[in-house]
Structure 1
């Protein structure tokens, strides 16, 4: 921190430019979250910045690891125009935590899917460790808070597609040991139209024992219902809006929103034109609807930046979150509800996953069940 205390030179004689100290990245991009208000007369926007400074955004889905895998070189701390997300824009948008989605290529199963998940976890680890001034890996609620208090953006690895397990609970344990903290229950034989099979239920129980959060975005209705019945920990829908407003298959109907809220889960509304609509008002409509139907404890945010999807007007990158919060404040959202939306609800889910894991580990040994033994 010594470099932050260097004297600033307010004037320089001709010929002395070469002697000026080179500013560090920490001086150029201070670790404390900040975002200049572009219009000082916009009172809701000013309030939005103030609320977000105290209660930053926990973003449910970032595709940054996939996007960075295609680039030969990048610097997220300095700023990177090749992607939607970098540290300056995260700070401008008051983002405190990101779930980094682990992309698996389409139709990849078995050992290849496991290998792809391992490569993604390795990439996440490498990216975070090479950007220590801006990013920090976090695996639970305490670590996300610590990262935010240190002026870093917490990176939570996951969700990954369920194919990453290769139908093996041993692989699930290994992925958890390497940092995986969320798993999407779609695209596998044991979580489909008929719901969870016996092996699928055992996967959920082992996820509970480890502290891996179930992501139910895109899952069939019966899988959602059975997971809510089996899981002792709260679940997430990391990329789901309200189907009553927009009939996208990943959006949730009202009956499932009610069940999700009753189970303590969180529906993280995505900022995508396809799922929520083309404007910031459309996104706010979905947030209003989910809050009304399922309660303020059931709603969260999912930027889905760097996933290849189009975003609503005025929400083109993570720096735009204050615009969305300003729209909610104009709609008379109470500041405590905004705090739950941006930070509190996800912290509760992370704490719930950790509490459930500690309790389960005291009464349950690692499961040795196999898909052949239970579903064969």
Structure 2
């Protein structure tokens, strides 16, 4: 990884004025950046071999819809993500976004989300040597043990529910793990309505994680108070460092950490900045404010966004981890960042779901009855 360290400029001592100094040998040329960085990169790769990246957001499904043919196992130059680059980047699991264009709403949003779920399953089936569909933390670990990359469906947009909890349950049966709570009448700038709170309770009962990236501050605060399971912000960095609307202010980062949620910092130049160091600055900040158990990574590859230099595709994660190690991050906290925190959140959601299913039956609430 280029420029992880400042260039070292050798200095020479000057002899006393009345002495004739011995000739100095010519300074050895500085080793190439790759050689200088090799020890740190080797350490990063070794760490990622045991604690691979669980990537919180991949836009591959949208990108694949524009290709007439593709083979992810041999590699696709038209994409940021394929199996060879995921392996080079030491990615062990990733969430595949089911998000739709904002113009797609109502019943069309529901059917389009089902189409994306169908495409996801077809893509995984077509690449059995590289990919495996997973649902739980245990299944992710099993996929890794078999040399496969785990694929988890989600996040999907809340519009996919068509304001129906029955649709939420059906999507969960089809594998949905994450739902973004924004862009609906019950999860808007004004916050959650009573029906929105019932959606959160039903998500807890089903084990569907709430994604709060892009949600209003009122919605975020209400979900943090209402949810019994951990929540995610799948594409949020630190607003104190870069004032992007999807980034979180420090008070919300602290609240997310107190709730044992997860801020997944995106590798998106618009949100974090144009360099590896900028991304590391955001990770440092979130780690300090929310805590080391509340920070993770989100590639946002193939999502139509520009990426920081040296992180242009899914193979770049070792460079980022090398930067963090260079900054003095303990290996235990890097392991939480890349793998452990996502595993914890998935296990927490599943534990909450099992407990909730013992206490309450499926909700029959409707938008009309609840919000009037």
Is the aligned partner of 1:312 residue 2:308? Answer: yes
Following TM superposition, the consecutive aligned residue runs of length 4 or more in structure 1 with deviations greater than 6 angstroms are none
* Per-residue Cα deviation, 1:264-303 (whole angstroms, up to 9, x for no partner): 0000000010000000000000000000011000100000
Corresponding residue for residue 111 of structure 1: 107
Is the aligned partner of 1:136 residue 2:132? Answer: yes
TM-score (norm 2): 0.90
Deviation, 1:43, is: 1.4
Q: Give yes or no for contact 1:40–1:46 (8 Å, CA) kept in 2.
A: no
Corresponding residue for residue 267 of structure 1: 263
* Per-residue Cα deviation, 1:245-273 (whole angstroms, up to 9, x for no partner): 00000000000000000000000000010
Is the aligned partner of 1:63 residue 2:75? Answer: no
Match of 2:278 among 282, 300, 312: 282
Corresponding residue for residue 238 of structure 1: 234
Corresponding residue for residue 373 of structure 1: 369
Corresponding residue for residue 28 of structure 2: none
Corresponding residue for residue 155 of structure 1: 151
After superposition, the CA RMSD in angstroms is 1.1
Q: How many residues are paired up?
A: 340
TM-score (norm 1): 0.89
How many angstroms apart in 1 are the aligned matches of 2:174 and 2:110?
A: 13
Is the aligned partner of 1:168 residue 2:164? Answer: yes
How many angstroms apart in 2 are the aligned matches of 1:142 and 1:165?
A: 27
Query: Counterpart of 2:154 in 1: which secondary structure?
Result: strand
* Per-residue Cα deviation, 1:162-196 (whole angstroms, up to 9, x for no partner): 00000000000011111111000010010112211
Query: Counterpart of 1:316 in 2: which secondary structure?
Result: coil
Deviation, 1:48, is: 0.3
Unaligned residue ranges in structure 1 (runs of 5+): 1-37
Corresponding residue for residue 213 of structure 1: 209
Aligned 1:43-58 pairs, distance under 5 A:
43-58=39-54
How many angstroms apart in 1 are the aligned matches of 2:118 and 2:179?
A: 17
Aligned 1:180-191 pairs, distance under 5 A:
180-191=176-187
Query: Counterpart of 2:97 in 1: which secondary structure?
Result: strand
Unaligned residue ranges in structure 2 (runs of 5+): 1-33
Deviation, 1:243, is: 0.1
Deviation, 1:39, is: 3.9
* Per-residue Cα deviation, 1:199-254 (whole angstroms, up to 9, x for no partner): 00000000000000000001001100100111000000000000000000000000
Match of 1:226 among 210, 218, 222: 222
Is the aligned partner of 1:90 residue 2:92? Answer: no
* Per-residue Cα deviation, 1:327-375 (whole angstroms, up to 9, x for no partner): 0000000000000000000000000011011111111100000000001
Deviation, 1:106, is: 1.8
Corresponding residue for residue 16 of structure 2: none
